[in-house]
Structure 1
Amino acid sequence: MTTLTIAAAQSISIAGDLHANIARHQHFIQVAAEQGVQLLVFPELSLTGYERGLAAQLAIAPDAAVLQPLRDLARELSVTTVVGMPIRLSADSPVLIGALVLAADGSLGVYTKQHLHSGEEVAFAPGSGGSLLTLGNDTIALAVCADFSHASHAAAAADKGANFYAAGVLITEGGYAPDTALLQGYAGEHSMVVLMANHGGATGGWESAGRSAIWASDGSLITAAPGTGDLLVIARRNASEWSGEVVTVVST
């Protein structure tokens, strides 16, 4: 197998402040590039925080100009980056929970959360998912939080040929054990590497558990964050062997 480096960006979002969060994301991308990361995945709604009450006013088109600096940086540093954002696909369409793929080749991909968590329907409509990502010989399927609570979602990803399953999430301490058990189970059951990028701190009134993690395709843990905070959780594949490390991202 070819070498590959992937990372979960366990970031802390500033509530509703898109410009400040873009700057924080840029810093994460720069640190990730220094670590040789080729695929970087942020948590659910990372660019705004999990702010349901602000989603309608913050929602933008996926190709909005405000995100161009992030797209440019991802291309310049060759780090395919997945960011979380409330989006509208047209001016009069409902607000969706988006995971935007800012590809290293400059292209833009859009994934929309298919399965809403209880209570999210007051602010969001269910989305339709999105295309698989290709990185060299690897195929990556995306998920956003409650998507992975449906076993059919991970199974469909595997059926389409994905050997990676990358989820941007918001998971609290109470949900951490059952949720990570599901994700770890998908890794072993479907022979997929599974990445989970959780928020690094409180957001939208919820206390995130942090502890972002990456599991190998046999279900074994490659690496995980020890707690909360701004961190990169990195997994490196050299031949068929995986190694992991956690890097602290110091705010600028």
Structure 2
Amino acid sequence: MRYAAAQYACAPLDIAANVTRHLAFIDAAGAAGVQLLVFPELSLCGYELAGMGASALKADDIRLAPLRERAASANMTIVVGAPLTNAGALPSIGAITYHPVGRTSSYRKHFLHAGEEQHVTAGSAISQLHDVRGTRVALAICADTGQQQHAHAAAVAGAELYAAGSLISAGGYDKDTGQLAGYAKLFGMAVLMANHAHASGGYQSAGRSAIWASGGELIVAAPGPGEMLVIADDHGGKVVALA
């Protein structure tokens, strides 16, 4: 399988504009032969916690139909970051997965950063696993990866790839990616981290999205901020800049 992190720059709280830009990334990934594409945390709205209530979506929101259709036409599994509704509760920081067969599934961030609980509700499920072309892929969202029990649960469930949509600053990058590389080594699963391309919600992203092989060896990483695809397969990795 060829898989990629989409290092993406959000338009704050503009779902329509972000859907259009997601499609450009998907087209570029399709041209590169990517079969699994993972976007950063809250890629559809940006890390705009105060505005999440008004922006919260259901996975089947009509505005997201182009993503579902493109997943089918590109024969690609696509994971996007989204503010998800919760009946009678605060929204959740979520990930929506569009499968090539037309099926859609949602995961809600289980472990929250300090302060996020004022704006969002944590998800109840600690792990979600998908079979992508015979590879078992577990999803994570940013602070999930700071808790070893989250990665451990993914490994126990049989994950071969641990895929995280994140927002990581320059100050936290070494610590956070050290943990991710450690999970790859400890649990024997590849790890993908998709980071924001630029600032979002007042946080300056480090960029440098990366993919580690099972065993902890770095396969490929973006050189810094900016919009690009970070791609890996059994033969190695490469970075493709987007215009």
User: 2-side partners of 1:52 and 1:140: how far apart?
Assistant: 27
Preserved contact between residue 62 and residue 89 of structure 1 (Cα < 8 Å): no
User: 2-side partners of 1:94 and 1:51: how far apart?
Assistant: 14
Q: Which AA in structure 2 matches 1:203?
A: S
Gaps in structure 1 of 5+ consecutive residues = none
Residue-by-residue CA offset, 1:68-125 (whole Å, 9 max, x unaligned): 11110111111110000101143x3430011000111111011100000011111101
Matched, 1:121 2:114: no
* Superposed displacement of residue 218, structure 1: 1.2
Matched, 1:189 2:183: no
Gaps in structure 2 of 5+ consecutive residues = none
- What residue number does 1:200 align with? 197
Residue-by-residue CA offset, 1:215-251 (whole Å, 9 max, x unaligned): 00010000000000110000022xxxx310000111x
Any idea what SS the aligned residue of 1:49 has?
coil
Any idea what SS the aligned residue of 2:69 has?
helix
User: 2-side partners of 1:110 and 1:13: how far apart?
Assistant: 20
User: 2-side partners of 1:74 and 1:15: how far apart?
Assistant: 24
User: 2-side partners of 1:245 and 1:234: how far apart?
Assistant: 5
Task: Give 1:50-65 correspondences, 5 Å limit.
Answer: 50-65=47-62
Q: Which AA in structure 1 matches 2:184?
A: A
Which of structure 1's runs of 4+ aligned residues deviate more than 6 A? none
* Superposed displacement of residue 136, structure 1: 2.3
Q: Which AA in structure 1 matches 2:27?
A: Q
> Normalised by the size of structure 2, how large is the TM-score?
0.98
Aligned residues: 242
CA RMSD of aligned residues (A): 0.9
- What residue number does 1:243 align with? 236
User: 2-side partners of 1:195 and 1:44: how far apart?
Assistant: 13
Preserved contact between residue 89 and residue 121 of structure 2 (Cα < 8 Å): no
User: 1-side partners of 2:34 and 2:100: how far apart?
Assistant: 11
User: 1-side partners of 2:124 and 2:109: how far apart?
Assistant: 7
Residue of 30, 37, 42 corresponding to 2:27: 30
- What residue number does 2:2 align with? 5
Any idea what SS the aligned residue of 2:229 has?
strand
Any idea what SS the aligned residue of 2:183 has?
helix
